Structure 1
Amino acid sequence: MTIESVLGSARGVLSPDAGDSVRGDDGAVIVSIETYALAVPLARPIADATAAMSHWTVPVVEIRTADGRVGTGISGVHCAPELLADVIGKYYSPSLLGASSEDVLGTWKRLYWLPTHWMGRAGVVHMALAMVDIALWDLSAQRAETPLWRLLGGTAADIEAYNTDGGWLNLSETELTRDLLSLIDDGWNRVKIKVGKGDFREDARRVRAVRAAIGDDVTLMCDANQRWDLATASRIMPVLEEARMDWVEEPLHADDLGGHVRLQRGTILDIAAGESIYSYQQFSSFIEADAFRVVQVDATRVGGVTEWLQVAAHAAARGLRIAPHAGDMMQLHQHLVGTVVSEVPPLIEFIPWTQDAFVERSTVSEGYLKRPQLPGASTTIDPVARSRWQITGVGGVFSS
């Protein structure tokens, strides 16, 4: 299945400046939109090189259609979920109400080219577009009475996962190694640690200690969360090579294309990025420049499922690895991995923080994700979770 055939299933594609959407099936007409957000508490405080957190915030949009279905779009943020809710409620809802939820690609183009385009082709505005797009794909899979991965033609095989929830920067060296060894005892063969301390020599000590503790058979990655400049990254790269890192994630500022190119050319390790890249066009620039080898495209940061598929197809055609960053805590991405033709096995990031927020929890055993089976995108929020964790004063209901 090609990317064009997948996106072409959204009927009635519009030109960017079209004023009216394609109506389609009357039952698919959007009759109301609701936004809200959850603050899901973490099991313990964590920190990376940019943020310290005690909870993860899940902004939500629910799009209701005339036939009674509800499509749910989600995101994941450190703060300010009200900004996403405001974009959807104040600026997107007038273009959505009365339109057909089946017109996925047409809706994407129409929202993208609203005047908000000039306020944010990346960041909040684009993430709000992603939430709407995810909700529409959730509805599409529900109407087809199938899980989204099957609607997209994805493999039914289990997907290998790696664990991100054991290598936090706020842990002491002893706590760090103990945490990772615990994950390995639980069956994980791929683990990731955070780097980006104020002194890169401390990162070097921690990396060496971890590799010595876990042995040679466990795959290890590291994530600097953009905290190094090119000089610092170049200095520590020999240590990371010595530790046989599978990849080095976000070593530099996300917009530093030239720096990524120079760093990737100078190391045998794979550079990974994508968590902070928000468009197909920017990904294309990085791919064509050979700036990285691991593409971490996140559907909650690019424009949802629609743009994710475009980026993933481009990356796969160049033989690159696709390992999505999971701002959604992999609820949606468990459907997206393994949907493009690639000789590189699919891989997904496992972060367990928000499992209790959803009706359909992810299932991972011995480091492998089992495909979800309920119709839709696995984004439906558990009503009990909403009653416990909804943030007061964020969002609203909009209807025609």
Structure 2
Amino acid sequence: MPQEALGLLSPARHDLRPGDEGNVIVSVETYALAVPLAQPLADSTAALTSWTVPVVEIRTADGRVGTGISGVHTGSEMLCHVVDRYYAPALVGASSEDILGTWKRLYWLPTHWIGRAGVVHMALSMVDIALWDLAAQRAGVPLWRLLGGSADPIETYNTDGGWLNLSVAEVVRDLGSLIDRGWRRVKIKVGTPDWREDASRVRAVRKAVGSDITVMADANQRWDLATAQRMLPVLAEAGMDWIEEPVHADDLGAHRRLQAVGTVDVAAGESLYSYHAFTGLIEADAVRVVQPDVTRLAGVTEWLQVAQHAGARGLRLVPHAGDMMQVHQHLAGVVLSESPPLLEFIPWTQDVFESRSVVNDGFAERPQTPGASTAVRKEAREKWQLRGVGGRTSDD
């Protein structure tokens, strides 16, 4: 089938202003890196030995490279294929400065009919992040400064000590290590087949860390409504700051009922892929903690829309870090909000990037290098690139 029939024609260059020729996209390349974990980890839905970082690099005529990323534990080849097959032909020859126009144009390709969420939407995120990375590079500033954020450090909470495959004793040991290193906020996983085991885990952790440490719990959607209702008093008794994804992400009614009766905040967003999905959750008063993820939404462009909506409703805005905080360290604190910014920190992919995240005593320092902190180290690509995943499209 000809590309014209698929709606994939590359845009004409007549929309460029004189002198903007250097901003023209000349090539799009994708690949993926499988980064091994220090030890096997599991939550209630998945067991992991590595974390995969799909990457798109968008090169412009002036030699700049914008890098977009995602974060998955399966399916990286599908994200790269969407970019290679459907998005790249529509990008090459276009202006990289037309971020919103490009977002709309890619969103409304025929792939819209099969991908307003999930793989297609996540692939659009990779492209959008790369274009914002280019914009910040051209401005000569880190992305957070381009977006108007303050230079103040941002508090983080650490997720890397409370995994479900670890015994309670191991969780207590690992959380203690994080606390000794300066974190005052930590998260543990729940969602075992027996809610009583979850209750025991929550109580044991609270007893071990004391009352001065903020603890969150994450069920990764594994409870049904009845189980979640049983657990709410336990969570309240243990002083949990929030319960994350207590039930299926698409069950709006269950979220609303839990938030209406519980004193523990309900958090959600990791498994929501669009502004419209977040709007439904927010308008139903179904959550108090909104967790947009720039790699699940369609990039920085849509993330900002969700963040502004949540902030305007007085809700807590705490990004889910599928990117391991690499992009979110730029996004947190760039919209008006009554609550202070907070970031999720997981250290798995620090060695992938040229600009590592810097966290001291639980607070993330704002990056200073121009761009979105997404550029990949050459050594990381050589070490961890997956064979047979990705491709390259150019105007050659």
Please confirm whether the aligned pair reaches a TM-score higher than 0.5, indicating the same fold: yes
- Distance across 2 between alignment mates of 1:381 and 1:19: 28
1:8-19 correspondence to structure 2 within 5 Å: none
1:155 Cα deviation from its structure 2 partner: 1.1
TM-score by length of 2: 0.96
Shift of 1:342: 1.2
- 1:118 partnered with 2:108: no
Superposition pairs of residues 205-354 of structure 1, within 5 angstroms: 205-354=200-349
Q: CA separation in 2, counterparts of 1:200 and 1:62?
A: 45
Partner of 2:27: 32
- CA shift, 1:187, in A, is 1.0
State the AA in 2 paired with 1:69. Answer: R
Uncovered stretches (5+) of structure 2, i.e. residues with no partner: 1-8
2:241 maps to amino acid: D
1:62–1:71 CA contact under 8 A, matched in 2: yes
- Aligned-residue offset at 1:181: 1.0
Instruction: Report what 2:131 is aligned to.
Output: 136
Give yes or no for contact 1:18–1:110 (8 Å, CA) kept in 2.
no
Select 2:48's aligned residue among 53, 59, 84: 53
Whether contact under 8 Å (2:10, 2:90) holds in the other structure is no
Bigger Cα displacement from structure 2, 333-342 vs 21-30 = 21-30
Runs of 4+ off more than 6 Å: none
Give the secondary-structure state (helix, strand or coil) at the position aligned to 2:144.
Answer: helix
| 1:102 and 2:97 correspond | yes
Take 1:312 and 1:171, find their aligned partners in 2: how far apart are those partners?
34
1:199 aligns with 2:200: no
Tell me the number of residue pairs that the alignment of Structure 1 and Structure 2 aligns: 384
Instruction: Give the aligned residue type for 2:249.
Output: A
Name the residue aligned to 1:380. Answer: 375
Determine if the alignment matches structure 1 residue 72 to structure 2 residue 67: yes
Q: CA deviation at 1:244?
A: 0.5
* Paired residue secondary structure (1:341): coil
Match of 2:384? 389
- 8 Å Cα contact 2:157-2:342 kept in structure 1: yes
Aligned-residue offset at 1:112: 0.2
- What amino acid does structure 2 have at the position aligned with 1:366? D
1:336-380 alpha-carbon deviations (Å, 9 max, x no partner): 000001121000000000000000000000010000000000000
TM-score by length of 1: 0.95
Return the letter of the residue paired with 1:102.
Answer: E
| 2:394 alignment counterpart | 399
> Which residue number in structure 2 is paired with residue 23 of structure 1?
16
Q: Which deviations, in whole Å up to 9, do the C-alpha atoms of 1:105-139 show, x marking residues without a partner?
A: 00000000000000110000000000000000000
2: distance between equivalents of 1:251 and 1:127?
23
Determine the structure 2 residue equivalent to 1:190. Answer: 185
Which of 348, 357, 360 is matched with 2:352 structurally? 357
Aligned with 2:314: secondary structure? Answer: coil
C-alpha distance in 2, partners of 1:236/1:335?
A: 35
* Residue segments in structure 1 that go unaligned for 5+ positions in a row: 1-16
**Structure 1 match to 2:142:** 147
The answer to whether the 8 A contact 2:11-2:94 is kept is no
Distance 2:233 2:342 in 1: 26
> How far did residue 23 of structure 1 move?
2.9
